Structure 1
Amino acid sequence: MRKWLPLTAVSLGTFMLLVDVTIVTVALPDMAGALHTGFTDLQWVLDIYALALAALLLGAGAVADRFGRRRIYVGGLVLFAAASLACGLAANGGQLILFRGVQGIGGAAMFATTMALLNTSYQGRDRGIAFGVWGAVSGAAAAAGPVVGGLLTEHLGWRWIFFINLPISVLAVLVTVRALRESRDPQAKGIDLPGLVTFTVAAGALTFALIRGAAEGWGSAPTLGLFALGAVALLGFVAVQLRSSKPMFDLSLLRNPGFTGVLAGALLLSAAAFSYLVYTSVWLQSVRGLGPVAAGLALVPMSVVAFVVSAVVGRRLHTASPRLTVGFGLLLVGSGALLLMLIGPGSSWPVLLPGLAVTGAGVGLATPAMAAAAMAAVPQRRSGMAGGALNTARQLGNALGIAVLGAVFQSGLEHRLRDGALPDAKGVADALAGGQADLVIGSAAPDRQADLAELVHQAFADGLRDSFLVSGVLGLLGAALVFTMVGRRRSAAAAPEAEPVREPVSA
């Protein structure tokens, strides 16, 4: 059993960092109440973590190749644990957002090294088993996040969703130091620091602009300034990559339409399948009265179906063209989101089941084939860069999706409240989106509470329907891009003699 200790070390870190993508979702209403935060802060608690992962994955991989993958992995674990402790002790929303960002930096250091560590620790059949277990653990993390978050929040308090990471981190560090040997790329070049900085600024400014625009208006000077900053930083990133002898991302890879299509599909899948869950959780708890555990269980069908489809159907279709598996998977993701539009003012959690199940089937069908398609579309020497770019696209899709759908959701709330002739519709919409429906309804005169409660239910239904519609369009757009850009031939990486690597089904 000693030979599986490296797999144990890598799986512990992977499970922890992926659980933390979704574990926060069901705790947001409790966080908002305890820290007196609003809707924008709730978005950033989720977004800053995904954004740090997206912005730093490629750079972290290059650092690990040069200075040692085990060293960077252990450093990521230590930083992740320290940031988790700080998150649990946060006294206000600003501190929580800051430390979630630091947590994301530690997560990027871990995530960027996991596949390389497994690749150097195992050979032959053992390597295939290790990647299969790692993929299963990753899928289980997506399913476990909302349930674990609900259990901890309901029985111990929301701060324990962060404190629970401390003993897991300690165990992971001990096993890593004992079982994993150091590895590095002897031909690794220097770090593309200008590329890392410009990409981070571009992604952060665009996300901030989307969130700020929803709160302060799309034509406001700060919002337009942030969009301009993002555009300038993106142009700077392109210029740096074209001129660098050691680019963080080789832009010539984008000349291959198959690779570009897979990246676009990965970004749009994450945005369409996962980003609306935070607003759905707020509705389940603050409007429908479910506890954190029940809300977490209501969201689990997507992850469970994705895991089953990935394990069963994905294995049987691993010889199929990724154009079909990824394309039809995105079609299901878009269709599932459109099914969620059945929600109405009187609906409760059962209305979500068909849409979540169909979306989960799409995620399970598309995700495993994405890695093989990305690797097959680039030269072998660029496979590490291709894998990092794929994970970056996923996390960036999650971050941008939360921002875009948050703006759509809040706009739908506010529009319905204005139609109801409610004074200060924007302020009330902010409070509702922050999980304060009970306070809003309770603040009205007794003879007005029933009417206000009905209006709140209608507003949530409208906001969620708008979000689901946009998600559906994004999923269908992703399918169209994949069908158009990805080639018909079966990828070499998915050939029958190759060991299939089951990819994470989380965002």
Structure 2
Amino acid sequence: MVTGPAVDRCPSARAALAISCAATLLVLVNFTAPVSTVQIIGAELAAGASEQTWMLSSISVGLAAFLLVTGSLADAFGRKRIFVLGGALLGVVSAMCAMAPTALVFVLARVLQGGAGAALLATGLGLLGHVFPPGPERARATGLWGAMVGGGITIGPVFSALLIKVAGWPLAYWIIAALSSLVAVWAAMTLAESRGERPRKLDLAGVVTFSGALSFLVAALTEGRGGWTRPHVLAFLAAALVLLVAFARAERKAAEPMLDLGLLKRRAFLAATVGALVTGAAVIGFMTYVPIAAQQVLGLSPLASAVLLGAWSGVSFVAAPQARRLIGRIEARDQIAAGLALCGIGQLALIGIGVQSVWWQLVPGLVLAGAGSGIANAALAGLAVQSVPPNQVAMGSGANNTARYLGSSVGIALIAAVLAMAPSGGGPAEDFATGMAWAAIVSAVLSILGSVVVASLRQRRTRTAERAAAESA
């Protein structure tokens, strides 16, 4: 019998872990790259407030719309194949971002970046679920994968802020293009192919209805900051609802659905999905605006604001791999619930930051939220692949990441709407500080409610198990 960690005894497992972590780090660096520089990019591309919101949320649209699609395709046609295609596509569309002449072109390229990143995230986590068996080995691997989420969020804003000082904002996207191409080549030369037990047909109806519904929903939320009763906003909301209903009907009828709706009957799968959705909406959505607030309210530079955000994302990066020590002591569902609760407490600690505040007053709240994020990220990654059958691990990871990035897109639009509706009367800095206080309250409430919901999704005990427990008592 072979013992020891899989990463020490199996070269293919080591390669899969290294490539998956590198790709995840790169996708999250790209995801957060505009967070500290969106105002500079927006000024150069003549983007207004609404267009700048789209610049922040557009990549989430692509991620949310295509994570399930690429997860399903990976299970059907090969995880390595879809991973390599995703890396190559990310290289091409990152170059499009660098050359974008207008805000519209930049936003469209960011949507395509999201689609390419979706292929890397869904297949990367699916590869780990395939090569690492359930238990401590998989927990360690998914913990490292979760750490890359925090690591990418830490590096991205600093990376782009530094490069603006050197050569302007396009350089960040040229570098991302080059690194994405290298990851694609590395994967093509190193990874072994894996797929589900048998080939599956593409669920075209599911792809069209799901991606369309998410796109209309995010469009409505983003445009809603200018007025929720405007005709086109109401039309977007109606279209999203119709397409979601159509998606549910299509998946029930499909012989091989993109998303097996039966998985929603599994409480572990539902807990992972709800946890990811709340993480995106309540945590990532709010934290995306922290560097902007640091610049507008505290007067920090883009680089200093990016470093400040690292108090959240850096702690998340450190906490995620350490969460494996909780295995066997605390269930993954309870780790997610605890992580979300800690995020909520950290967000509440950020209330009251104003123009008279100094940067270090944000640090305690950011550190608490970062610790919560790290614990939740590690547990979410593990539960996403543990809660589905072995031949559907890419679907499970795709569904989990879809929920996360749908949540982040919704969260960015929600915070933008809260900022727009917050009471005003002072100067721009004072008004933004008031808006961020309200945003912190809304985000904290969502985090804590999410924690309660996830904690309540305990596995039902069967009558046989209940009878056995009663007899042993």
**TM-score, normalised on structure 2?**
0.88
| Alignment partner of 1:365 out of 375, 399, 408 | 375
Contact 1:375 1:387 in 2 (8 A): yes
- CA 1:121–1:380: 2 relative to 1, 3 Å: closer
* Further displaced range: 6-15 or 99-108: 6-15
**How far has the Cα of 1:325 moved from its partner?**
1.6
Unaligned runs of 5+ in 2: 1-7, 462-473
Matched, 1:272 2:244: no
- Residue by residue, what CA displacement relative to the aligned partner does 1:346-390 show, whole Å, maximum 9, x if unpaired? 223222111111111111222222244444544555444322211
Number of aligned pairs? 450
Matched, 1:478 2:450: yes
Matched, 1:461 2:472: no
Matched, 1:251 2:223: no
User: How many angstroms apart in 2 are the aligned matches of 1:194 and 1:350?
Assistant: 51
SS state at 2:330 partner: coil
Contact 1:345 1:460 in 2 (8 A): no
Matched, 1:183 2:177: no
**How far has the Cα of 1:318 moved from its partner?**
4.8
Alignment of 1:73-88 (within 5 A): 73-88=83-98
Matched, 1:205 2:216: yes
| Alignment partner of 2:302 out of 279, 292, 299 | 292
**How far has the Cα of 1:464 moved from its partner?**
0.7
Contact 2:38 2:56 in 1 (8 A): no
* Further displaced range: 247-256 or 257-266: 257-266
* Further displaced range: 63-72 or 97-106: 63-72
Contact 1:59 1:248 in 2 (8 A): yes
Instruction: Look up the match of 1:446.
Output: none
- Residue by residue, what CA displacement relative to the aligned partner does 1:198-225 show, whole Å, maximum 9, x if unpaired? 111111111111111112x111111111
Alignment of 1:73-222 (within 5 A): 73-118=83-128, 133-185=144-196, 187-215=198-226, 217-222=227-232
* Further displaced range: 400-409 or 42-51: 42-51
**TM-score, normalised on structure 1?**
0.82
Matched, 1:48 2:58: yes
SS state at 2:288 partner: helix
Alignment of 1:225-374 (within 5 A): 225-374=235-384
- Residue by residue, what CA displacement relative to the aligned partner does 1:288-347 show, whole Å, maximum 9, x if unpaired? 332221111010011122222223344235531234322121111111111111212322
User: How many angstroms apart in 1 are the aligned matches of 2:172 and 2:102?
Assistant: 16
User: How many angstroms apart in 2 are the aligned matches of 1:134 and 1:325?
Assistant: 16
**How far has the Cα of 1:258 moved from its partner?**
4.1
Instruction: Look up the match of 1:395.
Output: 405
User: How many angstroms apart in 2 are the aligned matches of 1:314 and 1:134?
Assistant: 12
**How far has the Cα of 1:410 moved from its partner?**
1.7
Contact 1:259 1:486 in 2 (8 A): no
User: How many angstroms apart in 2 are the aligned matches of 1:70 and 1:258?
Assistant: 27
**How far has the Cα of 1:137 moved from its partner?**
3.6
Unaligned runs of 5+ in 1: 421-453, 490-507
* Further displaced range: 299-308 or 65-74: 65-74
* Further displaced range: 316-325 or 396-405: 316-325
- Residue by residue, what CA displacement relative to the aligned partner does 1:11-39 show, whole Å, maximum 9, x if unpaired? 33222112111121001111111111111
User: How many angstroms apart in 2 are the aligned matches of 1:382 and 1:180?
Assistant: 19
- CA 1:392–1:86: 2 relative to 1, 3 Å: same
Contact 1:35 1:92 in 2 (8 A): yes
Instruction: Look up the match of 1:409.
Output: 419
User: How many angstroms apart in 1 are the aligned matches of 2:132 and 2:377?
Assistant: 24
Contact 2:34 2:157 in 1 (8 A): yes
- CA 1:318–1:56: 2 relative to 1, 3 Å: farther
Amino acid aligned to 1:290: L
Alpha-carbon RMSD: 2.5
User: How many angstroms apart in 2 are the aligned matches of 1:126 and 1:476?
Assistant: 31
Contact 1:272 1:337 in 2 (8 A): no
Amino acid aligned to 2:234: L
Contact 1:24 1:161 in 2 (8 A): no
- Residue by residue, what CA displacement relative to the aligned partner does 1:74-98 show, whole Å, maximum 9, x if unpaired? 2111111111111011111101001
Contact 2:143 2:320 in 1 (8 A): no
**How far has the Cα of 1:483 moved from its partner?**
2.2
Amino acid aligned to 1:157: G
User: How many angstroms apart in 1 are the aligned matches of 2:263 and 2:195?
Assistant: 24
Amino acid aligned to 2:306: G
SS state at 2:427 partner: helix
